[in-house]
A and B are shown apart, each in its own frame.
Chain A
């Protein structure tokens, strides 16, 4: 043996590492099971570890019972309420003592006299810019309300008076349940449920306040404690909550958070996950399972609070699981200081229809949430219960009172007395909410009052938000396109208004100009977007976004009508050509429409923005003009004129063109008058041009006039004078008439000195010629012009000699006198 044990026994492979092994006793007999190495040396002989262990376990068990209201793991899970109560009573007594021993000044201060910070102080800390971001901030974008939609509603001034007498509560409950219409939903009334849980123990439960007061020996009411994170529901839990109402005073009693941590941690170990496996499913039996929430929240709370390390008193710990429906059990409440009783209540039987969301999110960030679930409800209750009469919904009171009975037993001693008030508040709110949930059809007057109480659920801010969204959807760049009838209707109405105002007293006529304000467009009329360019950078940095994507290809659809004439090949080509002509005329119309649009847009825009539009308009019109005129290609114009649409197009374009352009066109028209008239036999299709042409002629100067006249004189193709042909056509005769009229006007308005002699003579020539033609052409074939001008007689008088006048006198009457209805 010794050989083998010797350090460097080569036979056994001497090596350093193996020496330890070597040195270890090979045979078990040598191992001293209770030797110093194993169990530590220097142990007192008297020290009996088994004894110690037992004592320790006792302590632990008591602690467990005290804290968690039930025997620690290993012992039976007690569902019996009666025994539970006993336990509670015992442990409370113990706890009282414990509590007083806590020396931590922070905690003490909190319990005694901490002022309630008003409104949103802590909100800023929690949700302000310095607070942890992400979860909370998104609400800004989504919600109409200011910032915290997760916060609890503002604590309302009105609180329904607390009912201390449980007996009365029960009576109310009876009455209420009696009148309730709802059958299946509330299911068993509160009473029934209570009966089920606590047979005959109706009178035992006491309110938290009662109990506390008792214990304190009827001392004065404790100072109100700031409501803790009660009002701080877990993010993600209650998306529907309204912000303003949820502006909870997130008051955190200064010393709350940290001091509880050690307590929490201490308590955690004995518990472990064992006793309360998170139950996400159905809880204890009940018509509407309230149970699951508490335990499962409990567990969650317990588990997650410390790790999260949010310096809030989230460790309020799990809510008291016991709603009367629960196995009265887990008293894990001690953790959640101020939370105690309030926890109990909201986890009471939720109303039939509205099973609370908690179920859905077992895993949510635990710390704030036990309260969270109740918050919105509470919030609602608070918000709306201003005028609420207590008579209305009493079901809740019963339940609440009942559950309160449990809570105080545990909580009062555990939590500081200061909690009382906010707890009560909380309960009150919950009561309100629950009352609301358990509504039934009261007589009308009650309802009238209650309806008012619920009105205003939606704040004006929220309503505005919705309307804003709707308005955004109505923004449009082209109102004429999106809703033509509405647009014209509003414009008409505005015009009427303006007219009325004008009649009453033309005051601010300038302001109420008839323009359709298109704000969306005004914004968009910016310079073409130029992507940002960086100096000194290597390469071109991309700064594209959804709204300003980088331009890769310049794709622009050109709507210019191409005026290429197809090579005349065969008949089908003819067809194609005519079709193409039609297409081109269509394009011309499109251009006209664009011009029209621009004109409308121009009206709506401020001065500066109009300039580019003017440019566009001018360009478009020039294009159109060029297309129609097609210098050098008379036939094109003629072919256009042979189509009715084309004529219409010309008629519409003419007034829009610039003077010179228009006059050119008219000249072209006159040049081809003979041809056109020939084509127009019996159709009078040219009349559509009448008004536009007349307008042009009426504004032309003498030179132009002479040019026009010249056109009429010359006839390249026809034998007969163009004029002669013209006056046999309505359009033609109207034209001639207008020409003469214009001539007279010009003559009348210009002094002989200013008149250009050459032009004058040319004009005279024309008039003479015309007179001659008039003499020749038989009266029957003459056609009345559309407009007569008496001035023609004067003109003739001026320019012609008497003899000639006499000859054509009758015929002149055609031009000078209104057409007599035949």
Chain B
């Protein structure tokens, strides 16, 4: 921004605590330490936060180097309000379990939809999932 009005650059986000959403759906929270021209990120003290419903669980991950093309979005974390989310934190194992269940449920739902579509003679429409899903 100093150099170019009307543009955005990750340079201003350095050393800030960011929330990064990746293409495969993961959510990482960490301090952005370094970037490059491809928007590859180096996240420090990263935790992966898994959300299921109103609950979430954190997995500490350490230092992450994320390839720029896999980032969907990132945003600054409000340090004041980050400690009082409306969500409930649960231990990691629990949240992983919940996530798995959610996945299974989704799959089942998809299956049912597909079946019912085929029954009606329609083509089951394959949603364009993100390639990493």
- Hey, which bits of chain A sit against chain B, CB under 8 A? 181-183, 185, 240, 351-354, 437, 439-441, 451, 454-458, 462-463, 466-467, 469-471, 474, 486, 489-490
Contact = CB atoms under 8 A, between A and B. Distances in A.
Given A463-B11, A467-B11, A471-B3, A439 B37 contact: no
B33 interface: yes
A454 B31 contact: yes
B60 A440 contact: yes
List the 6 closest A-B pairs by CB distance, nearest first. Answer: A353-B62, A457-B33, A469-B37, A455-B15, A458-B34, A463-B11
B4 A466 contact: no
B33 to A, nearest CB: 4
Contacts of A463: 11, 14
A351 B62 contact: yes
A437 B15 CA distance: 18
B63 A471 contact: no
A462 B40 CA distance: 14
B6 A439 contact: no
B61 interface: yes
Given A466-B9, A467-B11, A454 B61 contact: no
B42 to A, nearest CB: 8
Interface string B24-46: 00000001011111000010110
Contact of A439 (B7, B9, B34, B62): B62
Contacts of A240: 65
Given A439-B45, A451-B15, 11 more contacts: A437-B62, A441-B60, A451-B31, A456-B15, A457-B15, A457-B42, A458-B33, A466-B36, A467-B9, A467-B11, A470-B37
15 contacts: A353-B62, A353-B63, A354-B63, A437-B62, A437-B63, A455-B15, A457-B14, A457-B33, A457-B42, A458-B33, A466-B11, A466-B35, A467-B9, A490-B5, A490-B6
B33 A353 contact: no
Interface of B: 2-7, 9-11, 14-15, 31, 33-37, 42, 44-45, 60-63, 65, 92
Contacts of A454: 15, 31, 33, 44
A466 B6 CA distance: 17
B20 to A, nearest CB: 17
Contacts of B15: 451, 454-457
Contacts of B3: 467, 471
A181 B31 contact: no
Contacts of B9: 466-467, 470
B33 A354 contact: no
A454 B44 CA distance: 9
Contacts of B6: 486, 489-490
B7 A470 contact: yes
Nearest to A489: B6
Contacts of A466: 9-11, 35-37
A242 to B, nearest CB: 8
Nearest to B8: A470
B37 A185 contact: no
Given A451-B31, A455-B15, A467-B9, A474 B60 contact: no
Contacts of B10: 466
Contacts of B2: 467
B37 A352 contact: no
B40 to A, nearest CB: 10
Contacts of A467: 2-4, 9, 11
Contacts of A185: 60, 62
Contacts of A352: 62
Given A470-B4, A470-B9, A457 B34 contact: yes
Given A181-B60, A354-B63, A474 B11 contact: no
Contacts of A353: 61-63
A354 B35 contact: no
Nearest to B5: A490
A441 B92 CA distance: 15
B14 A458 contact: yes
Contacts of B63: 353-354, 437
B35 to A, nearest CB: 6
A353 B60 CA distance: 10
A456 B32 CA distance: 11
Nearest to A473: B37
Contacts of A182: 60
B35 A458 contact: yes
A467 B54 CA distance: 40
Contacts of B61: 353
A354 B11 CA distance: 25
A454 B16 CA distance: 11
Nearest to A472: B37
A381 to B, nearest CB: 13
Contacts of A458: 14, 33-35
A587 B103 CA distance: 60
Given A454-B31, A458-B34, A471 B62 contact: no
B4 A471 contact: yes
Contacts of A354: 62-63
A334 B58 CA distance: 47
A440 B62 CA distance: 9
Contacts of A462: 34
Contacts of B31: 451, 454
A454 B62 CA distance: 13
Given A185-B62, A457-B34, A458-B35, A474 B7 contact: yes
A181 B65 CA distance: 21
Which of B9, B14, B31, B62 has the most CB atoms of chain A within a 10 A radius of its CB?
A: B62
A341 to B, nearest CB: 26
A314 B36 CA distance: 33
Contacts of B65: 240
A529 to B, nearest CB: 30
Contacts of B45: 439
B5 to A, nearest CB: 8
B6 to A, nearest CB: 6
Contacts of A470: 4, 7, 9, 37
A489 to B, nearest CB: 8
Nearest to B12: A463
B64 to A, nearest CB: 8
B68 to A, nearest CB: 12
A451 B2 CA distance: 24
A463 B11 CA distance: 6
Contacts of B5: 490
A20 to B, nearest CB: 72
A556 B21 CA distance: 49
Nearest to A144: B36
